[in-house]
Chains A and B, each alone.
Chain A
């Protein structure tokens, strides 16, 4: 059975309507009108043990709200969730021991006290025995290279150090499920790499299942086997990265450097002109073709037969382009 099962999750928030016109501020205070906003609108999700799933979507798509329902912090307006067979918001105590969470924009550390003190208390909170605690802490501190700042107050740490602290805080009780909500936001490349390495390591050695929200394509490319994309509270896509590319940007790009000026009125069967740009002295043409329609070698030979080619490269669309395409188009397309 799947480790995380969510069916038709819906979460609505209602807030008072802001009055407009004269004395709007005062009138808003006494307004009884409320508007309802559906942050999550029928999301269903199944995650198997040991998966690392990227949960993507533009700002305000409903990602964090979904995660808060999965962690049991928010009670769904409708729909059901079970994590490891537990309904998170109903059986909080059992759920707490099953999950760990990092919310990149927040911290669960005691900011005024040394990092180590926070870990000591968390170990007690989660009932981690002294032997297991020492073992995990040593291992994590080693993996994340935290020895130099364990005894400094969390408030004085850099963002990257604090994030590592929060990651350890979430993992001390070795939960089978880890939720990461933007764990690399604002971090430099080295700090990001360290955190990714840690996540991968925990997934490999302890089989930790990870649900990861991020705006960093590197996180997705390096960690996730599967992505789920949502927008406006609805699921747009659920599948592996290859399927994502094939679905949204099925073309490949053939970039041609011309040895002579571009001829007028050229055309090539199944190869489309996508753009012309100057690069130093040379002119570059971007051509698109669909490998399902015409093979790469055929597209190249047709191109060299028609255009004065000095140099040429073929590449797959970057994941970033795929995501940009999805966020911009914001429409549902089915996996072919």
Chain B
């Protein structure tokens, strides 16, 4: 049975993509209906797969001797991320019914969204590193195609290309890892490596570990590759919610968490992971404090929260990081979708031209505030519990200075959250335009996420057991929900963090009176606006790639005769070396 749900989880979205693409651009309503039907069905299949996660079932698809079997493993980590991908995916599709109403070329949009959902589910469910690389690239391709969905807008196209090139860096790392693994173990199945890291020589393992970190950083927009995510905000907002907040950017964190048992023993690896996470969290939080574009603020906060997760993996808190991933997917998808409702209504993304929208959009305000409170880490909301667990993991035999900085970032988070909420929904209106509240389909998508932001922390116990029982190599130590709650409430560190958050919250609320302090920090703000110089580095990488590709055009004359000539030359070299080298 689990096999059926597994196939449906990956297959249904892809089938849907094919059907929508073939049905073509005829009837808008029909296209919406098809997309919703297929994505919801995939979501249901993934939820039905969830109970099988504990059993750690393995399915192999024999594919011949070259690539090894295509193996899918139904374990806790996989089913949980697949469920997030398909459920948030179907909510984003439902939201799109209102958001993309009247847009042209809907089949292209929905086909790529569904193709992405299936690819993401496959990425987390496979245990074949080579297959993982294929899925990884599928998600990157869909991300590019959807960022550049409005392909007559040069900014959207540039953002898409940038995202594509930077995430390719990660893809290359993953491919190299798959080849190394194959060279040393004779198969692409990474469970062998997780159970016994000593199977690889220490030097090779270190290369793979740090390569994996680079791959994860590129995919999850972590330091120093963090600049592609804000530029990716040119995508339609449901896409930002789905791909650039709830799912694809988590792939990097997933990769680190998945391979934690293999690389934890590599000297310096854990410290490097923690520092990358901390720098991303800190720098992105500072940038979020001065950004004025609503979606960019959310993008920076995504980078910052992903930084928390990466830091947690480095600190040894794999459960905490995955728990925060769950919370973050829910509340950040909520924030993005609510922001989408605002943008759809106001017609701008500039927060300086919003303000006072709360009166006319009560539902949107309510859910946005819920998401904001969860983001800031206010008690009861899901973000609070998971963030506290991460900070606690940071205290556990890890450098104290990193912990102090992370607590500081938690305060900054509260600051920019309050700033964002008050600029959008409170204060004086800066727009003459008549605004309307979210549409019905939007509400259908927003409400489950709002309820989730309030309640998903109750799943801490079952979720922990799901992970612990199906990931023997990780040696996770988990407790029931009640024990987790008790642990968080009784720890003194929680109150320290809460105090910092409260200070951040108050300064955010009273930030007008602190304008003098703000002016003193003007230099920091200017540096932050330029992404502390990393924007230039990333732009350099993108430019260099494009120049290289331009230069290599000479080798592609587009003439069949010469193409065959090149193929034949390669074949002759191969044959000659075989003939000389003895068969």
Chain A bound to chain B: no
B-side interface residues toward A, CB under 8 Å?
none
